[in-house]
């Protein structure tokens, strides 16, 4: 398959997109061929998402042309792009949660007779499309009852319904488990076998090597290179993405575990957690592994007092705590960095300083000491290298990595000695990730006890001294660092025997 | 989406490089950032100035001491309640019961005076009664977890109903002896050294409210809860307690406002304040508060109150009938919110 011998499905010629003050996409030339998986790699800010929005006509390019099968495409709106056969699967799903699967799939294109929707035809059509994406569920189910992975497949089914020639996916695996990713990839392969092109954005390097036919690397709005997968290896890809070598993606300090800091015994929350016990030492990084829904986040929230528990006890440095609310956990020295920064981590309309001091406001007789607040924030910014010209910027304008640092700063300010990091690297680019993990390592080596929750095994296996594997709300097993293998972890997480995993 | 976050960040990142001596740049940017926060207010303030200037030329009766004092007295009730409403709206809440509560506390106060109680004591009891209504709202919202709209819609009806039951929907008339600026009437009509007492009360309350909101724990947590209630809870903030406090504050101010209203004529009117809650909410929103929470200031709210007040006053002076007044005010609300959304979209196109 010599790409150059075929006609490209899409050809971008000298595409530029300028936002006030930023050239987000800078003179991009790119071909997408029918039946290929074309991965766009690059850090946040490289211009990947903007490029997708230009393709799906959410944004209008400042200059340049887009050719579809050799003919120039006028820019109208996303509906127009859909009619041309360009369909986008959004990172945050664009389904109507209260409607059924079938209603969502045909949304906007319902077949009607005298204005009345033919429901039976709709369900039948949906059933066929769902089969094509390997999703065996009732099309009459309400979308909000589906898992994230299932919703994503519904979106892909929706794309198939409009007879898409190009399917755009923006970090589709961000919230999927390994099993679900494998299924998604086989669905993608099914699409390309039918000649559909898939334009795919990803941060995860291993995934790029699994799924890509060709890889376009972007940096600072420009295309750095477009290469077939066979011409790339991990080091080379990273170098192209960040423009320099990153030595250690997971800078892990030498573990120096001290005495037991946090001991959790028999935490039970009916229907969610069953008799969960574990301990973390000072200076240790403990990982929580497990499938999505296995109870990792729930266990962290239970220890932190965010959800009520039915039984169990929490001990900090040998003293039993009575944790009834996050406030009491914080007072004891426990911090929890939530999985979703925007949903329950940051106060977006407040500025950096105000977010940092949220747990520990410096006050004199309940009056805020603004000078002290400023000093705290500036010190935290300098220490954690939060990139912002002023601590009075709204956190909303920060990148994911810097937002994460603001939350870390908040917990350091609260004098937390035990820190739960729930999926800390989600939505953060390679560079910031390595910086974040270095910070986590430093926090551990300063004598804090760290619990790291992640769905991404390489993160856990590289960063953690020990792993607790959860399955269906139970602790399924515990592994020392020397025992870490993906097979072993997955076997514990799924309950399969190790041999089945190979 | 994320790309644009990073883009702005990179712009900022360059400037933020830890270069020694870069302090002035940061300070300049910081000033710029703070000025940005005031844009919404400045727009409303600009509108206020334009309307004021226009009326000064359009009507010879406008720029007179009597008329200006009249405007302040006319709007003192709305302004007093709006101070408290600002807190509530910043928490992403709303209180529809303030009109009914003001009527109830006014009737209660006049009734107490009519039964021989001294007016300052009656005033305190009326304020307290407002606080109790606020406490009820706060409990329904924070502990029963009712939606603020529904909780206070119910309270609005209940309080109005109770007032009507007590008065049989007939006005309550106080003794004429307490009337006039030397007695109970002092809060609504009195002047000290030529300055209306209502204005002094408003200024003092506004300063207190402003500092509460911008400089105290209560104020900070008000913004934090409105910005992201779950993040606030997970940061150890006792969210329920602060929500309760905010509704109680509004209730107390509403109780006072009810008494200011009745002090002018000494008559408790059970039908007082129907639709007042909407004027108060409109003023707050015009002043830059967001119904989605996390945003709003006392200065903005005051500008909103007096912008509406000027439009009403000017309409009377220029002989525009009250139906047309309402049309103008409705359009102003649209413009204010439209401008707010436009601004928000510009911010979010840079961030998310």
Pairing between β-strand A63-68 and β-strand A71-72 as defined by DSSP bridges: antiparallel
Which residue out of A397, A405, A408, A435 would a mutagenesis test of the B interface target, given it has the greatest number of B Cβ atoms within 10 Å? A397
Report yes or no on A293 lying in a domain: yes
Judged by average pLDDT, the poorest of A333-337, B135-139, B175-179, B279-283 is B175-179
Please report which residue ranges of A249-388 form alpha helices under DSSP H: 296-304, 326-332, 341-344, 352-356, 370-384
Is residue A72 a contact partner of residue A39, using CB atoms and an 8 Å limit?
no
**Per-residue confidence band for A134, with pLDDT thresholds at 50, 70 and 90:** confident
In sequence order, which residues have a C-beta less than 8 Å from that of residue B330 and are 6 or more positions away? Answer: none
Q: What is the pLDDT of residue A146?
A: 86
Same domain? A193 vs A58: yes
**Per-residue confidence band for B323, with pLDDT thresholds at 50, 70 and 90:** confident
* pLDDT digit string, tens, across residues A376-410: 999 999 999 888 888 998 888 888 888 999 999 99
Q: What is the pLDDT of residue A120?
A: 86
Which positions in chain B touch A326 (Cβ < 8 Å)? 233-236
**A362/B contact by beta carbon, under 8 A:** no
pLDDT over 80 (residue B254): yes
pLDDT over 90 (residue B258): yes
Task: Enumerate the β-bridge partners of residue A218.
Answer: A223
Pairing between β-strand A367-368 and β-strand A363-364 as defined by DSSP bridges: antiparallel
Q: What is the pLDDT of residue A247?
A: 62
Beta-strand (E) ranges in B35-186?
172-173
Q: Which of A242, A277, A303 is the last residue of a domain?
A: A242
Among B280, B281, B274, which Cα is nearest to B160's? B274
Q: How far is CA B33 from the centre of its chain?
A: 25
Is residue B88 a contact partner of residue B223, using CB atoms and an 8 Å limit?
no
Number of H helices, E strands in chain B: 15, 4
Q: Which of A207, A242, A277 is the last residue of a domain?
A: A242
CATH number of the domain enclosing A86: 3.40.50.300
Report yes or no on A198 lying in a domain: yes
Which positions in chain A touch B10 (Cβ < 8 Å)? 22, 45
**Per-residue confidence band for B237, with pLDDT thresholds at 50, 70 and 90:** very high
Q: How far is CA B78 from the centre of its chain?
A: 7
**Signed CA dihedral, B69, B74, B80, B85: sign only:** negative
Domains of chain B, start order? 41-345 (1.10.3470)
Same domain? A93 vs A177: yes
Among A24, A342, A410, beta carbon nearest to B4: A24
Q: Which of A217, A242, A267 is the last residue of a domain?
A: A242
Pairing between β-strand A197-202 and β-strand A260-269 as defined by DSSP bridges: unpaired
Same domain? A160 vs A285: no
Chain A residue with CA closest to B22: the answer is A389
Across B141-147, average pLDDT: 93
Same domain? A11 vs A125: yes
* pLDDT digit string, tens, across residues A104-130: 888 877 777 777 888 888 899 899 999
Which positions in chain A touch B215 (Cβ < 8 Å)? 367-368, 370
Rounded distance between C-alpha atoms, residue B276 and residue A469, angstroms = 59
pLDDT over 70 (residue B11): no
Same domain? A277 vs A315: yes
Same domain? A147 vs A39: yes
Mean pLDDT, chain B, as a whole number? 85
Q: Which domain holds residue A203?
A: 3-242
Across A184-211, average pLDDT: 89
What percentage of chain B reaches a pLDDT higher than 70?
86
pLDDT over 60 (residue B7): no
In sequence order, which residues have a C-beta less than 8 Å from that of residue A350 and are 6 or more positions away? Answer: A358, A394, A395, B223, B224, B227, B294
CA distance B36 to chain A (A): 10
SS3 content of chain B, % helix, strand, coil (to 5): 75, 5, 20
Same domain? A146 vs A106: yes
Contact A354 B223 (CB under 8 A): yes
Contact B236 A327 (CB under 8 A): yes
Across B329-347, average pLDDT: 77
pLDDT over 90 (residue B219): yes
CA distance A336 to chain B (A): 8
Q: What is the pLDDT of residue A236?
A: 85
Same domain? A195 vs A265: no
Same domain? A70 vs A156: yes
* pLDDT digit string, tens, across residues A307-334: 999 999 999 999 999 999 999 999 999 9
SS3 content of chain A, % helix, strand, coil (to 5): 35, 25, 35
Same domain? A218 vs A316: no
What percentage of chain A reaches a pLDDT higher than 70?
96
Report yes or no on A247 lying in a domain: no
CA distance B221 to chain A (A): 8
pLDDT over 60 (residue B352): no
CA distance A294 to chain B (A): 22
Q: How many domains does chain A have?
A: 2
Report yes or no on A435 lying in a domain: no
Report yes or no on A393 lying in a domain: no
This prediction's pTM? 0.78
Please report which residue ranges of A320-396 form alpha helices under DSSP H: 326-332, 341-344, 352-356, 370-384
Report yes or no on A166 lying in a domain: yes
Rounded distance between C-alpha atoms, residue B160 and residue B103, angstroms = 8
Number of Cβ atoms within 10 Å of the Cβ of B175: 14
Hey, what are A327's tokens?
Answer: 């406030």
Mean pLDDT, chain A, as a whole number? 88
Q: Looking at chain B, how many residues does it have?
A: 352
Among A325, A346, A427, beta carbon nearest to B2: A427
**Per-residue confidence band for A33, with pLDDT thresholds at 50, 70 and 90:** very high
- Measured at the CA of A238, the angle between CA A207 and CA A24, to 5 degrees, comes to 95
* pLDDT digit string, tens, across residues B35-93: 445 666 677 788 899 999 999 999 999 999 889 988 998 899 999 999 999 999 999 99
Q: What is the pLDDT of residue A244?
A: 67
In sequence order, which residues have a C-beta less than 8 Å from that of residue B252 and are 6 or more positions away? Answer: B84, B127, B128, B130, B131, B134
Q: What is the pLDDT of residue B175?
A: 80
Q: What is the pLDDT of residue A411?
A: 93
Number of Cβ atoms within 10 Å of the Cβ of B315: 18
What percentage of chain B reaches a pLDDT higher than 90?
59
Which positions in chain A touch B5 (Cβ < 8 Å)? 44-45, 397-400
Q: What is the pLDDT of residue B346?
A: 61
Hey, what are A54's tokens?
Answer: 């230009």
In sequence order, which residues have a C-beta less than 8 Å from that of residue A494 and are 6 or more positions away? Answer: A179, A291, A471, A501
Report yes or no on A499 lying in a domain: no
**Per-residue confidence band for B17, with pLDDT thresholds at 50, 70 and 90:** very low
Chain A residue with CA closest to B3: the answer is A45
Is residue A230 a contact partner of residue A69, using CB atoms and an 8 Å limit?
no
Beta-strand (E) ranges in A69-173?
71-72, 86-89, 112-113, 116-117, 166-170
* pLDDT digit string, tens, across residues A216-233: 998 888 899 999 999 988
Is residue B156 a contact partner of residue B162, using CB atoms and an 8 Å limit?
no
Same domain? A238 vs A262: no
Q: What is the pLDDT of residue B12?
A: 37
pLDDT over 50 (residue B4): no
Same domain? A63 vs A155: yes
Beta-strand (E) ranges in B179-299?
191-192, 195-196, 267-268
Report yes or no on A339 lying in a domain: no
Q: What is the pLDDT of residue B32?
A: 42
pLDDT over 50 (residue A435): yes
* pLDDT digit string, tens, across residues A160-180: 888 889 999 988 887 777 788
Interface contacts A/B by beta carbons within 8 Å: 168
**A369/B contact by beta carbon, under 8 A:** no
Is residue A43 a contact partner of residue A243, using CB atoms and an 8 Å limit?
no
Rounded distance between C-alpha atoms, residue A399 and residue B29, angstroms = 18
ipTM over 0.90: no
Task: Enumerate the β-bridge partners of residue A72.
Answer: A67
Contact B5 A399 (CB under 8 A): yes
Among A329, A347, A363, beta carbon nearest to B231: A347
């Amino acid at each position: 398959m010599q790409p150059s011998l075929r006609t490209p499905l899409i050809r971008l010629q000298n595409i530029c997109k300028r936002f006030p003050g930023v050239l987000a996409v800078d003179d991009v030339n790119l071909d997408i061929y029918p039946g290929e998986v074309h991965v766009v790699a690059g850090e946040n800010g490289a211009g990947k998402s903007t490029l997708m929005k230009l393709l799906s006509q959410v944004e209008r390019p400042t200059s340049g042309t887009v050719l579809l099968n050799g003919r120039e495409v006028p820019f109208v709106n996303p509906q127009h792009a859909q009619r041309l056969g360009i369909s986008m699967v959004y990172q945050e799903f664009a389904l109507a949660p209260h409607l059924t699967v079938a209603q969502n799939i045909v949304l906007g294109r319902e077949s009607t007779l005298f204005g009345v929707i033919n429901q039976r035809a709709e369900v039948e059509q949906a059933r066929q499309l769902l089969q094509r994406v390997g999703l065996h569920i009732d099309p009459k189910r309400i979308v909000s009852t589906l898992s994230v992975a299932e919703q994503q497949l519904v979106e892909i089914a929706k794309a198939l319904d409009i007879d898409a020639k190009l399917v755009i996916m923006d970090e589709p695996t961000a919230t999927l488990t390994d099993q679900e990713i494998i299924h998604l990839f086989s669905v993608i392969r099914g699409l390309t076998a039918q000649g559909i092109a898939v334009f795919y954005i990803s941060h995860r390097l291993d995934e790029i090597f699994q799924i890509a036919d060709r890889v376009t690397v972007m940096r600072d709005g420009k295309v750095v290179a477009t290469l077939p997968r066979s011409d790339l290896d991990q080091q080379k890809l990273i170098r192209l993405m960040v423009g320099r070598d990153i030595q250690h993606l997971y800078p892990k300090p030498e573990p120096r575990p001290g005495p037991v800091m946090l001991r959790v015994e028999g935490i039970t929350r009916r229907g969610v957690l069953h008799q969960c016990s574990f301990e973390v030492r000072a200076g240790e990084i403990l990982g929580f592994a497990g499938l999505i829904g296995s109870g990792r986040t729930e266990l962290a929230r239970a220890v932190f007092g965010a959800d009520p528990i039915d039984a169990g006890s929490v001990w900090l440095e040998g003293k039993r705590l009575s944790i009834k609310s996050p406030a009491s956990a914080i007072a004891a020295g426990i911090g929890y960095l939530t999985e979703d920064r925007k949903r329950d981590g940051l106060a977006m309309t407040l500025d950096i300083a105000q977010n940092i001091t949220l747990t520990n406001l410096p006050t004199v007789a309940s009056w805020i000491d603004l000078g002290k607040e400023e000093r705290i924030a500036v010190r935290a910014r300098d220490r954690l290298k939060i990139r912002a010209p002023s601590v009075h910027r709204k956190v909303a304008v920060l990148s994911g990595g810097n937002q994460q640092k603001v939350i870390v700063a908040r917990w350091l300010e609260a004098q937390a000695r035990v820190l739960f990091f729930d999926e800390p690297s989600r939505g953060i680019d390679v560079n910031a990730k390595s910086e974040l993990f270095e910070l986590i390592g430093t926090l551990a080596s300063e004598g804090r006890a760290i619990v790291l929750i992640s769905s991404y095994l390489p993160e856990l296996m590289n960063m953690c001294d020990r792993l607790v594997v959860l399955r269906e709300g139970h602790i399924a097993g515990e592994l020392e660092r020397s025992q870490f293998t993906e097979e072993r972890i997955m076997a514990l997480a799924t309950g399969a025997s190790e041999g089945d995993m190979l | 989406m994320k790309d644009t976050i990073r883009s702005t960040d990179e712009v900022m990142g360059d400037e933020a490089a830890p270069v020694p001596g870069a302090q002035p740049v940061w300070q300049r940017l910081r000033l710029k950032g703070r000025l940005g926060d005031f844009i919404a207010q400045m727009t409303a303030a600009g509108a206020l100035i334009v309307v004021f200037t226009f009326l000064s030329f359009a009507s010879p009766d406008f720029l007179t001491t009597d008329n200006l004092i009249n405007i302040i007295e006319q709007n003192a009730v709305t302004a007093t309640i709006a101070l408290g409403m600002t807190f509530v709206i910043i928490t992403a809440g709303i209180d529809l019961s303030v009109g009914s509560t003001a009527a109830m506390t006014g009737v209660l106060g006049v009734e107490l005076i009519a039964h021989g109680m001294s007016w300052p004591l009656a005033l305190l009891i009326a304020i307290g009664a407002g606080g109790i209504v606020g406490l009820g709202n706060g409990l329904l919202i924070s502990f029963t977890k009712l939606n603020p709209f529904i909780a206070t819609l119910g309270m609005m009806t209940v309080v109005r109903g109770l007032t009507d039951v007590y008065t049989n929907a007939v006005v309550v008339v106080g003794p004429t002896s307490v009337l006039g600026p030397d007695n109970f009437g002092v809060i609504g009509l009195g002047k000290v050294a030529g300055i209306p007492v209502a204005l002094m009360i408003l200024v003092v309350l506004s300063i207190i409210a402003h500092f509460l909101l911008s400089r105290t724990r209560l104020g900070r947590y008000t913004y934090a809860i409105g910005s992201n209630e779950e993040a606030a809870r997970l940061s150890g903030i006792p969210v329920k307690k602060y929500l309760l406090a905010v509704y109680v504050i509004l209730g107390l101010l509403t109780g006072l406002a009810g008494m200011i209203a009745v002090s002018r004529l000494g008559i408790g009117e059970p039908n007082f304040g129907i639709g007042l809650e909407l004027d108060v909410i409109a003023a707050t929103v015009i002043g830059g508060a967001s119904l989605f929470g996390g945003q709003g200031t006392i200065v903005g709210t005051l500008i909103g109150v007096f912008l509406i007040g000027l439009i009403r006053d000017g309409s009377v002076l220029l002989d525009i009938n009250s139906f047309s007044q309402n049309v103008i005010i409705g359009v102003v609300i649209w413009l204010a919110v439209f401008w707010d959304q436009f601004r928000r979209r510009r911010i979010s196109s840079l961030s998310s």
